[in-house]
Amino acid sequence: MSGYNPYDNVLAVIDNAAKLLGYTQQEYEQIKFPEREMKVSVPVRMDDGSVKVFEGFRIQHSTLRGPAKGGIRFHPDVDVNEVKALAAWMTFKCAVIGIPYGGAKGGIAVDPYKLSKTELKNLTRRYTFMIAPVIGPETDIPAPDVGSNAEVMGWIMDSYSMLMGYSAPGVVTGKPIGLGGSLGRGDATGRGVTITTQNLLGKLGMKLEGASVAVQGMGNVGSVSARLISEAGGKIVAVSDVSGGIYDPEGLNFKEILAHVSARKLLDSYETKAKRIGNQELLCLPVDVLIPAALENQINIDNVDKIRAKVIVEGANGPTTVEAGEALNKRGVHVAPDILANAGGVAVSYFEWVQNLQSFYWSEEEVNSKLQVLMDNAFKSVWETAEERKVSLRTAAYVIAVKKVVEALSLRGGIWP
C-alpha cells in the first residue's frame, strides 16, 4: 500500500455521500478542502544541549458547525495528508453524533517514547507557542490523540494561558481533572466503542456476553474497549500492540494484560502460554467482533479477503480503506464506522468544554449517562439511514454528516465575502 493517501479516502466518501444526497458539485465543493493548514517548525533543546527541529501541523477542516475540534498526535509517521484526513474525519464525526463542532487535527512527526519528559514538555510548549494564533476556546480546541495524553494537555493549557495572561481551561479537553478535566473522559472513546458494539450486535440478533472479541491496539482506545467489553461479558481472545499480539480462543486473562500494559510495558514482555501472533494475523482471526484500534489503513485490499470477523467496530480513525470497506460490505460483514464508533471521546470532550465554560462540573455517572444517550441516538440514526437507503453503515453515517455540514453552509448564506 505504498503511496497510499488517507485524504483520498475522505474525498471518495464525501463524493459518494453527496451523490446519494443529490447535491451538485458546487453545493459541497467547499467541504472537500480544509479551511486552514498550518505547518510549523518546532525547535527543541535536547537534554544533551543540542537543538533538534521537529515538523508540526495544525489543520482546521471546517468551522461551519462550530469551533474546530480535534486531537494532537505525536507519532513518527505524522504527515500533512494524514493530519488533513484526521481533521476531516473529525468534522463528520461531530456532525454524526450531533455536537456543535467542526473538525481539526494536529500532529508532530516524533516518537514521544524516545524523548525524556523534559524534552517532551519543551516540544509541547514550543508547539503550543507556534499554533497559539489559531487555537482557543472559541476557535479550535485540541485534545489527546495517539502519543499524547492528559499530562500533555495540561502543558498545552498552561502554555496557552501564560501567553494569554489568564487561565483558559477551555482551550483543550482531555486535561487532568485538577485542571478542569471531565470525569469519564479517560474512558470515553473506549466506552463509545463498547456502546456501539452492543448496539450493533443487538440489531444483528447477537449478544455481547460470550462473544469472541479481538482488539488490535492497546493504547487508550483499545485497552479501555477491551476492559469494558470484558466487564460486560465479552470474551477477549486476542490483543496486540506494536510489539505483536497474543491469542487464546478460550479467552485471555485481560485483567492481567491490562495491568501489564498500564505499566507502559509492551506485550512481547508479557509472560503467557497463549499463542504469539502478529498484528496482521490478529486481523484475520475467526472472531465474532474485531476492533481495530491502532492506526489507519490496517484493513486494506491486500488483506480484506482474509478477514473472518462477523462484525468490525472501528476504534481507530480510518482503519479500513474505501476499497476494503466495499469488499466487506459485499460479503455482508457489518462495519461500524470510525466516525460513529469512536465518537465517544469527542462527545465527552464536548461535555468537558461545556463544563469549563460554565465553571460547573458533573458527576461521572451524569457524564456516562449523557454519553450513552448521545451514542444510542447516533447509532439509531445511522442504522435507520442504512436500512432506508440500503447502504452500508459507513455510507449512512457520511450521508448524515455531509448533509448536516452542507446544510450549515447553506444556512450561513454560502460563501462570504
Q: Is 303 helix (H, G, I), strand (E, B) or coil?
A: coil
Rounded Cα distance, 359 and 180, in Å = 9
Helix (H) or strand (E) holding 44: strand 36-45
Count CA atoms within 13 Å of residue 197 on its CB side. Answer: 34
Chain-centroid distance, C-alpha 271: 30
Rounded Cα distance, 367 and 124, in Å = 29
Rounded Cα distance, 245 and 278, in Å = 6
Nearby residues of 239 by Cβ (< 8 Å), 6 or more positions away: 214, 215, 216, 218, 222, 226, 245, 246, 252, 254, 257, 267, 282
Specify the amino acid at residue 284. C
Helices 220-231, 188-203: inter-axial angle, 10-degree rounding = 50
Count the helices and strands in the chain (H runs, E runs). Answer: 14, 12
Q: Are 238 and 285 in contact (CB under 8 A)?
A: yes
Say which of 84, 93, 105, 403 is annotated catalytic.
105
Q: Are 314 and 337 in contact (CB under 8 A)?
A: yes
Cell numbers 537543538 label which residue? 51
Closest-CA residue to 224 (of 249, 250, 248, 195)? 195
Whether 105 sits among the annotated catalytic residues: the reply is yes
Q: Which residues are known catalytic residues?
A: 105
